[in-house]
Amino acid sequence: MVEQPDRVRIVSKRSPAAKNPLGKSPRSVAGQVFVLQVVVVVLLVLGAILALVLESRHASDAEARNRSVAVAETFAHSPGLLEALKSPSPTTVLQPLTEETRQQAGVDFIVVMDTHGIRYTHPLPDRIGKQFVGTIGPSLAGQIYTESVHGPLGHEVQAVVPVKAPDGSVVGLVSAGLKVKNVASAGNRQLPVILGTGAAALAVATTGTALVARRLKRQTRGLGPAEMTRMYEHHSAVLHAVREGVVIVGQDKRLLLANDEARELLGLPADAEGRYLGELRGLDPDTEELLLSGRVATDEVHRATGRLLVVNQRPTDRHGGSMGTVATIRDSTELLALAGKAEVAGSRLALLYEAGIGIGTSLDVVRTAEELAGLAVPGFADFVTVDLADPVLHGDEPTGTRLDLRRVAVSGIQEDHPFYPRGKLIDFVPSTPQAQGFGSGRSQVVPDLSVAHGWQAQDPEWTRRIVDHGVHSLLTIPVTARGIILGVANFWRSRKPGPFDEGDRSLGEELVARAAVSIDNARRYTREHAMAVTLQRSLLPRALPEQSALDVAHRYLPAQSGVSGDWFDVIPLPGSRVALVVGDVVGHGLHAAATMGRLRTAVHNFSTLDLPPDELLGHLDELVNRIDQEESDSGTGTGVTGATCLYAIYDPISRLCTVATAGHPVPALVGPDGGVVFPELPVGPPLGVGGMPFETAQVQLAEGTQIVLYTDGLIEERTRDFDVGMELLREALSHRDRQPEENCRAVLDALLPDRPQDDVALLIAKTRVLDADRIAEREVPSDPAAVAGVRAWITATLDEWGLADLTFGTELALSELVTNAIRYGSPPVRVRLLRDRSLICEVADGSSTSPHLKYAATTDEGGRGLFLVAQLTERWGTRYTSQGKIIWTEQPLPAPVGCPDGQRREPGPPAAHQPASPPPA
């Protein structure tokens, strides 16, 4: 208020011409009046011009249409037009006439056309003979039609008039028109008058506004509307807009001003303004002393009328004079309460945030429950226990009416606690909060456990220990997800003095709800993982077949993140040979496991054909391509995304191991001395790639060599390179006198992490050799008479092996096979007997023609030989070699004396045997 004269003086010194010619800012009253007048004048001028333009346009269109109709109608009724239209060349006759008439009539074009709209005439000769641009339908019906079109000459107004024959029929059309811009109008002559009038009105408005501005400036003493409005707004904001009390005390210690907020906070009477501060009753002494002292105060706290007030005081004279003081007062009573509530709310939000990132970090039910229990201690509760229905831990939903809950998590501020231990199966009685919460799905609050008889009925001794431990309050919240109650979470308080309230209930329900989703996801994952593991294990070999060529040990470990498509197999083949298979389907889940089962079944089926490894992998590759094609055609998009396989055949007689691989890691060979080598094998492309043949390699193995087959999950791990994994495998296997079972354990311990990310299939086979005394073979001349010698040789060999009981059937079967080889095959013909777990007979010849079993008719003289062989032996078949084929049979060994019927005789070390020479024919 003291500065007002200076402010007026400063404003009055401003130059009026510094802003605009009127001396006023556009925001002043005079400036606003002037702007309004200018806008009105401009709008009037623009309205007049718009009306003139519209009227001129309308008059132009009307004049153009009238002139076009008159010219077209006149030319249509002109003499000689009908004869010209009927002439052989209407254009020659009419084009000069139309051009002459067009120039005289003042139109832009006259077009004569036939009833199809084909022009006979046009100002532009190149348009003659082309289609007329416009509507001719109404004119063909005998009407005069006008329209506005965009034709060859531009925007045109044209009229179409029919040319009628004496009988009234339309024989032609005449169109005349003008370009709109060529039509003269009187509007252009009136436009300067309108603009001149508008300019005069604008000049008068400018003069009037200048006079008003000068008069307002003298009356307001140089203060414009903006300055005056700003002063009023500041005054109103200080007194009424802010939520603070304002008190102004004059130099004589009288109260000059107090707003409504100050009256309420200080308890001032209605007539307080103008009175001496010492005369006001009810004013707090400390506050009165501060206001009377006039000293500077910053955020001083005073009590008045039961409130806690914060006072700031400054002198009104900024230069330090004694002009008076102004004080601002605000109530901080509610702020303290709000600060406490905000702190509690912040801690709860922080707890919920930690729950969002700390619960559900794994797909494990128990670990998720432990995360919930650990998170709520000690910020929300002193102890937390989580009890889940037993089926939930196995991936199933709770079933039945029994309330059997298993304690899966216990957490508290102390290690020693009186609660049931983790893992205990608890049958809660119906009166307990746990049973009520699990049954109703609603949370239960027990403020005082010492008087909660329903809870104490569960186990008086157990509940007494809990109360003696200092636990006094319980909050039980059901763990509910998708409408299914999975268990209950119990929150206990001991050190916190107050019981759980409604705010705690809401926070607890939010915590448990977040954990319930994660627990349910983990439960469903556990179920699906168990199903996939069950499916995969059912597709893997449950027991390895009996065979004498290899001593086999194996391991299969599913990944923690889900089952995969790894598999292995041991398949006995004819001739005491054994096939070893290991494969891997890319991906995880049920689809990978099912695909693995299909490929394993296919390998079994192809192996019955006794194919070489490269041919078998070729057939398997075609199968994968066909599966992919079927899946693509069905639109499911779940084909085989990638698969590898290694197929090896070991022959215990020749000690040859024939191997072919389709994108699979090479095997490791552990010699009898403990040395480990990785043979260089031709590695083919993965299955399903197609286009590349597979190759085989043969390796001669010493007796006792261990063949180590594995999948890439054993050696590949994200924390190490592939070469490091291969070197670790070499070190784990480099030990002498270690059996396959021991090597399996050593390899897994050395290479597998705690939580493998991929499946692991490991197959270790130690080679054996079939002793020479269990093998008998001889060549057979290509003479049917040699069959008798073969029979005698068979009898002698079986007698020497102690298998005389098999002599009759073996003689008949081999006689038939040898006879067929001599008659229908090609030399050389060889016969071989193998005494293994069964008696194996082989007849080899140089022909690749395979015999087929068929039923002979009663009138046939032959065709019963193979049928007889099939009846006398347990199995028989054919396999092809590079020299021809081998037809083989198998017969079970007779049971030794004293053994139950049907139990086969295990081969023992027979006496030395030399093949007998065939008797003379």
23: alpha, beta or left? (left if phi > 0; alpha if psi -120 to 50)? left
What mean pLDDT comes out for the span 429-437? 91
Instruction: Summarize pLDDT for 533-555 with one digit per residue, the tens.
Output: 777 777 777 778 888 899 999 99
Helix (H) or strand (E) holding 786: helix 786-801
Instruction: Summarize pLDDT for 639-664 with one digit per residue, the tens.
Output: 556 789 999 999 999 999 999 999 99
- Residue 15: its pLDDT value, please? 40
CB 205 within 8 A of CB 38: yes
Tell me how far apart the alpha carbons of residues 653 and 774 are, in angstroms, rounded to a whole number.
10
| Confidence check: pLDDT of 207 > 90 | no
| Confidence check: pLDDT of 905 > 60 | no
CB atoms within 10 A of CB 648: 24
Between 78-82, 445-449, 765-769, the lowest mean confidence (pLDDT) is in: 78-82
- Reported as a pLDDT band with limits 50, 70 and 90, residue 741 is very high
Q: Best-predicted range by mean pLDDT among 129-138, 280-289, 396-405, 663-672?
A: 663-672
Instruction: Summarize pLDDT for 688-723 with one digit per residue, the tens.
Output: 887 788 999 999 999 999 999 999 889 888 778 888
891 or 197, higher pLDDT: 891
| Confidence check: pLDDT of 335 > 70 | no
| Confidence check: pLDDT of 17 > 50 | no
Which tokens sit at 350? 């922080």
Q: Note if the bond before 652 is cis, omega within 30 degrees.
A: no
DSSP state of 529: H
- Taking 3-state DSSP, the helix, strand and coil percentages for the chain, each rounded to the nearest 5, stand at 40, 25, 35
- Residue 779: its pLDDT value, please? 92
What mean pLDDT comes out for the span 854-858? 56
Between 238-242, 568-572, 671-675, 756-760, the lowest mean confidence (pLDDT) is in: 238-242
What mean pLDDT comes out for the span 144-153? 82
- Residue 857: its pLDDT value, please? 53
CA terminus-to-terminus distance, the chain: 150
- Residue 8: its pLDDT value, please? 36
What mean pLDDT comes out for the span 572-596? 86
| Confidence check: pLDDT of 236 > 80 | no
Tell me how far apart the alpha carbons of residues 215 and 662 are, in angstroms, rounded to a whole number.
104
- Residue 419: its pLDDT value, please? 92
302 or 519, higher pLDDT: 519
780 or 902, higher pLDDT: 780
Which tokens sit at 666? 């090479």
Q: Best-predicted range by mean pLDDT among 352-361, 466-475, 540-549, 844-853?
A: 466-475
Q: Are strands 170-179 and 154-164 parallel, antiparallel or unpaired?
A: antiparallel
- Residue 343: its pLDDT value, please? 65
What mean pLDDT comes out for the span 111-121? 88
What mean pLDDT comes out for the span 413-439? 90
| Confidence check: pLDDT of 9 > 60 | no
| Confidence check: pLDDT of 139 > 60 | yes
- Residue 314: its pLDDT value, please? 86
Between 11-20, 127-136, 386-395, the lowest mean confidence (pLDDT) is in: 11-20
240 Cβ contact list (under 8 Å, min separation 6)? 259, 260
| Confidence check: pLDDT of 141 > 60 | yes
Paired residues of 521 in beta bridges: none
Mean pLDDT of the chain: 81
- Residue 908: its pLDDT value, please? 42
| Confidence check: pLDDT of 247 > 70 | yes
91 or 651, higher pLDDT: 651
Q: Classify each residue of 734-770 as buried b or exposed e, where b means 16 or more C-beta atoms within 10 Å of its C-beta.
A: eeeebebeebbebbbeebbeeebebbbbbbbbbbbbb
Tell me how far apart the alpha carbons of residues 372 and 779 are, in angstroms, rounded to a whole number.
80
Tell me how far apart the alpha carbons of residues 298 and 184 are, in angstroms, rounded to a whole number.
84
Between 398-407, 783-792, 856-865, the lowest mean confidence (pLDDT) is in: 856-865
Tell me how far apart the alpha carbons of residues 760 and 507 are, in angstroms, rounded to a whole number.
45
- Residue 573: its pLDDT value, please? 93
| Confidence check: pLDDT of 494 > 80 | yes
Q: Best-predicted range by mean pLDDT among 100-114, 222-236, 327-341, 510-524?
A: 510-524
